[in-house]
Amino acid sequence: MTPISYLRRRDAMSRTEREWRVEDDALVSCGGSGAEKRYLWTDFVSVRLCEEPTRLKPWRYVFELQPRKGGKLVIDNAHYISAGRFEDRSATYAPFVRAAIARLAVAKPSGTALIGETPKRYFFLLLFALLALGAVAFALIAVPTPLDALPFSGVTKFVIIALMLPIFWAWVLKAMPRGVPFDAIPERALPRTNAG
C-alpha cells in the first residue's frame, strides 16, 4: 500500500506543518524536525469522528484517536495560516481519514468508531436542552401572554408545549453518540469534498 499523507499546521506555536501518514502497520506522525512517532493500529483503544465547527472554522471536522498509552490524537481539517485565518484542507483530510479507518478495520475487524459527541458532552448538552425546554414551558405558563385572552388559553398553551416535545425528542435522537463499525462510517462523519 502506498502511504497516504495529510499535512497541517495546528496553530501559531507550530513552526512547520506536521505530516500524518497512513502506513500498513501504523499511523506515523512526522514533525518539522524529521522525528517520527509511530502508533500501531492495534494500539488504538477508541476512535471518534465528528463535525465540530468553531467561530473561525465553521467547516471543521475532527478525527480523534486514543492510543493505549499517551494522550489523545486530535487531527482536524483546519490548517493554520495566521492569526484568525485557517485553510480548509478537507480535500486531503477526507481521503486520509478514510485510509486510516480502512487500516483500523483490518487491524481490529470488530472495532467501532464513535460518531458525534462524547457521552459526557452529550449528557451536558442534553441537560442544558432539557432545562431550556423546561424554562420555555414554565415561561409560557407563568408569564402573562396574549394567549391568556383566548377562551381556552390553558389548552392552547398545553398544545404548544406538546408540539415542542417531538422537536426536542428528534434532536435528542439525532445528537446521540453512536458507535458504528469501521466499515460502515456514514458520509456525514466526514467533510464533503469536490472529489467525493
One-letter-per-residue 3-state SS of the chain? CCCEEEEECCCCCCCCCEEEEECCCEEEEECCCCCEEEEEHHHEEEEEEEECCCCCCCCCEEEEEEECCCCCEEEECEEEEECCEEEECHHHHHHHHHHHHHHHHHHCCCCEEEECCCHHHHHHHHHHHHHHHHHHHHHHHHCCCHHHHCCCHHHHHHHHHHHHHHHHHHHHHHHCCEEEEHHHCCHHHCCCCCCC
Q: Across residues 100-121, what is the average pLDDT?
A: 89
Q: What is the pLDDT of residue 84?
A: 82
Q: What is the pLDDT of residue 48?
A: 93
Convert the pLDDT of each residue in 117-152 to its tens digit: 788 888 898 898 889 888 988 888 888 888 788 888
Q: What is the pLDDT of residue 79?
A: 86
51-60, 72-81, 92-101, 132-141, range with greatest mean pLDDT: 92-101
> Could you tell me the three cell numbers for 127?
441537560
Q: For the domain covering 4-116+179-189, report its CATH number.
A: 2.30.29.30
Q: Across residues 159-168, what is the average pLDDT?
A: 86
Mean pLDDT of the residues in the chain: 87
Query: Which residues, at least 6 apart from 183, have a Cβ–Cβ distance to it below 8 Å?
Result: 105
Between CA 99 and CA 7 the distance in angstroms is 15
Q: Across residues 98-115, what is the average pLDDT?
A: 92
Q: What is the pLDDT of residue 12?
A: 64
Q: Are the C-beta atoms of 83 and 62 separated by less than 8 Å?
A: no
Q: What is the pLDDT of residue 40?
A: 95
- Which comes out higher in pLDDT, residue 68 or 156? 68
Convert the pLDDT of each residue in 3-17 to its tens digit: 888 988 877 677 778
- Among 34-38, 58-62, 147-151, 162-166, name the one with the lowest average pLDDT: 147-151
pLDDT over 60 (residue 196)? no
Provide the whole-model pTM.
0.75
Between CA 182 and CA 105 the distance in angstroms is 5
Q: What is the pLDDT of residue 194?
A: 60
Sequence ranges of the chain with CATH classification 2.30.29.30: 4-116+179-189
